[in-house]
Structure 1
Amino acid sequence: MPIPFLWLGVGLGALAAGKHLARERSRDIVLHHPGESQQSAAILNGAVVCCGVFGVFDHSGIWMDGSIIELNGNGLIRAVSPQRFLANRSGDKIFVACDADGNVLADLQAGERAVARVFEYSAYDLMRNNCHQFVLSCLTPGVGHVTLFNELNISVSRHFGQSLSWRPAFGV
């Protein structure tokens, strides 16, 4: 039985290497990836947030009124507390998308779209309909498709017309 674990390790190693390469290629779009800046930012309604998942993946959502609206892996769109957003993930911090000066990038209409979808079911698919696609659909309904966090970064940067600086969320 060690061979499946070997392949799993090889696969996770390849994912980690791919994530590192994507970070380096997107330096003009993302000035600070999650965990690279220690300067925190006060979170605002309609802000895009994320946390780490086992050092290889990122999970994203939209902040509204003290909760994070997310697409859960079972397909349920739900509002969760910051603590629940981090539960069962390796990250211990929530990061918020900011501009180069640390101003939170927020779109209240995106937040309202996210709230309107709470308790909706959306068939979750890791490649075609994941948390990043949910966030994009709230920012720009019906426009574009993303699978990876790096692709979401590009879309968020375009939406706000700014380079991104992911900062730890203050007071969360």
Structure 2
Amino acid sequence: MLISKNKVIQNASKILEEDLKIKLPEDYSKFLDKYNGGRTYKSKVKIGRNWEDVCGFNGAGDVDKDYSFESMKSMGVLEGYLEKGFLPIADNMLGDYYCLSLKTEDYGSIYLLYHDLLGKKKKLFSSFTEFINNIKSEEIGHIKTMEEREKIAIENGYGDEVEMLRPVWKEQIEEFSKIVQEEVIL
């Protein structure tokens, strides 16, 4: 799996454990200390016969608010999951969470908890390591230039919208040009 890691902080796992009053599995603690979560562009995990996207992993401390335990905590989302014995560690595009089980009977297992199906959950893997090893990522690769995007828009009949799209394209090009992906090794 490739990740564009968050800002790494010393002892991220210990900080999270103390803050949430939980004990993390060793493999997940190593991941948090080494990468502190981050975005996982073009990443998918096989669930049954389908491939589901994995957008990013939550991190501790001052990180991207989209992938932050602190942000989830301040919105009041984290507490509900913890009460059910789960720590939401990653998400997909639909807003569902990949969760680490903190329950004694299947401690460290990974579940997918669906946000819109009244608490429906599906056990996916027996450990965080197994989860990571089953995620496949593609490198971001070439980022289309402004000129390439403009040409494609005109060819597809959207020439009259190019002026409106330029600021969006500029922002995307700047964002993607700063991304550094690295292989997750625990």
- Return the TM-score normalized by structure 1: 0.29
Q: Mark the structure with the bigger radius of gyration.
A: 2
Q: Which has the higher contact order (CA 8 A, sep 6+)?
A: 1
